Amino acid sequence: MSEDLAFMPATELIQNYRTLKLSPVEVVRASLDRIERYGSKLNAFTIVDADSALDAASDSEQRWKNGNPKGLLDGVPTTIKDLVITKGWPTLRGSRSTNPDQPWDEDAPCVARLKEHGAVLLGKTTTPEFGHKGVTDSILTGITRNPWNLDKTPGGSSGGASAAVASGMGQLAIGTDAGGSIRIPACFTGIYGLKPTFGRVPAYPSSPFGTLAHAGPMTRTVADAALMLTVIANPDTRDWHALPYDDTNYSTTIDGNIQGLKIAFSPTLGLDVEVNAEVAEAVSNATQQLSDLGASVETIDLNWPIPPRDIIQVLFTCSAAKFISMLTDEQQGQIEPTLLAMAAEGKKLDMMSLKTAELDRTANGIYMNHVLAKYDVLLSPTLPVVAFDAGKPCPDSYSENPFGWIPFTPPFNLTGQPAASIPCGFSQSGLPVGLQIVGPMHGDSMVLNVSRAFESAYPFADKRPVL
């Protein structure tokens, strides 16, 4: 029963809390029990605050008994990625350069909204140093592992968040995504991850990677992501990039009806990428399932004005260079070599290179707007590969260039459109495969609804890794 509670979707928990069939205390204990039993195998957490979580759960239990819940997520176990500031807990960002002994007296907007709605925070999840790569390991926290196979990486940079959700250590998780850092680990660990439209979820402080970075939900069901997005999309004046608040309840937008929708499928997004045969087959089958549900699916190729990889390479390395330049010499001496190398590449670039990349980004954004004016959503593989060995920076067949094996997620950080990764199958070795669903700008509801439709044809929440 305890294990079932740890994997029960947030939407079901809320229903059971309302009828007093379940208590937030027993649910939070179930999550904490999973962390205690399996946490050392996964290394998914930097902080677990069991006492605080149980106190919050007890308060939630009393509110439900009084018929006065605090909000939409009252009593739901939740984790926060260790790039996102959280009052009372150090946010070390996977780095030895961050001083833990300083005031931690502020919540990021998404954390504040979660607390306002009664979510029970279990702790903080691991990230590579400052989220700079697509795997989750750092010299501060070591290697985080994939619950489907402990020898494999969960991806990154929200790898701790995805590993926790996939293994029943909290129903909800906050991740961040500047080049795929929600979608990559969601793909590798078989959960749902949504990068919302840029500005949909207010962020503070600004990411070192600027307007490439998004915060979003990581969950085991689409309905849970919709519920979570409804909460974290609430406004916050600290983010001047944030979109005007439109008071959308995303839970009401996911009936799963996709009859008559026009869906584009691009097997490689028009990029020179070889997709693993098992991945290609699972994604192709997924497109057929959407067609069977009543959508019109057309296979297309894309013709980007400028290769997305060229643009994001410039923006990422320049951002890294600027960030590293703000550190003291002592702090720079504590930074991982891969991040220092990224910063060194950015330091070589001049202002003309940066401005050209920004203009190229604009051209690609306009192009993608045109594509998604013709179609309701665009489909692709989330990644061309399945999870590879933990501790390695990339699959064996790829170069160590950070974007070499991650071709399909960064383009939509550049363009700002909402994009999700949803499980669509498994390899013969038992590793999850992800389908990427991209919507038009501000089309978060559309992405969620198509995701819900696919989930109805391919339920994945009942699939659990064995630890």
Our answer to whether residue 81 is catalytic in this structure is: yes
Residue 459: phi and psi, rounded to 5, are: -65, 130
Q: 217 with 232: CB under 8 angstroms?
A: yes
Pairing of the two strands 262-265 and 377-381: parallel
Our answer to whether residue 195 is catalytic in this structure is: no
Q: Which of 157, 162, 380, 451 is catalytic?
A: 157
Our answer to whether residue 463 is catalytic in this structure is: no
| Sequence-distant (≥ 6) Cβ neighbours of residue 200 within 8 angstroms | 214, 229, 233, 242, 243, 418, 442, 444
Residue with tokens 């923006």: 315
Q: Which of 31, 181, 380, 451 is catalytic?
A: 181
| Sequence-distant (≥ 6) Cβ neighbours of residue 389 within 8 angstroms | 151, 152, 153
| Sequence-distant (≥ 6) Cβ neighbours of residue 35 within 8 angstroms | 45, 48, 122, 123, 164, 169
Q: 201 with 110: CB under 8 angstroms?
A: yes
Report which DSSP code applies to 243: P
Residue 94: phi and psi, rounded to 5, are: 70, 20
Query: What is d(CA 389, CA 399) in angstroms, rounded to the nearest whole number?
Result: 15
Q: Which of 31, 81, 158, 421 is catalytic?
A: 81
Q: Which residues are catalytic?
A: 81, 157, 181
